[in-house]
Amino acid sequence: MSTISSSTRSPSAATAGQAPSLRPDRSRQFLVTLIGVYPIITLILYLVLPLTAGWPIWQTTLIVAPIMVAIMVFWMIPQIQKRFAGFIMRPARR
């Protein structure tokens, strides 16, 4: 008895009868991310700048950047993908 694994099926057979594949619309993703990033980075700066007064800008940025990236990777981007998928995702061009 022989079985066909999904890796041996043709791509057209795998997609037949399925919804079209989706891809993110980069301009919409940019807009939603910008709207999310602006208030977060502003809040972080309000909290960090008084503590780093007199420091060179590169040292302040060294503190702010990891905080912002962690918030984006672990919280903001997953929330954007979950809540705004209908707005961001568009059918892929062929």
pLDDT digits (tens, 9 = 90+) for 36-72: 999 999 999 999 999 999 999 999 999 999 999 999 9
Chain length of the chain? 94
Whether residue 17 is contained in a domain is answered as no
Computed over every residue of the chain, the mean pLDDT equals 86
Whether residue 52 is contained in a domain is answered as yes
Whether residue 47 is contained in a domain is answered as yes
Residue entry with tokens 């807009």:
31
Whether residue 15 is contained in a domain is answered as no
Whether residue 58 is contained in a domain is answered as yes
33 exposure class (CB count in 10 Å sphere: 0-12, 13-18, 19+): middle
- Residue 17 clears pLDDT 90, i.e. is over it: no
Distance CA 39, CA 17 (A): 43
Number of domains the chain is built from: 1
pLDDT at 63: 97
pLDDT at 15: 54
Q: Work out the average pLDDT over 76-91.
A: 92
Residue 59 belongs to what H/E stretch? helix 57-71
Whether residue 54 is contained in a domain is answered as yes
Whether residue 85 is contained in a domain is answered as yes
Whether residue 9 is contained in a domain is answered as no
Tokens of 52: 């780093």
- Residue 25 clears pLDDT 70, i.e. is over it: yes
CA torsion 14→20→23→24, rounded to 10°?
-150
pLDDT at 20: 74
- Residue 12 clears pLDDT 60, i.e. is over it: no
What confidence category does residue 93 fall into, taking pLDDT thresholds of 50, 70 and 90?
confident
Domain interval for residue 60: 22-91
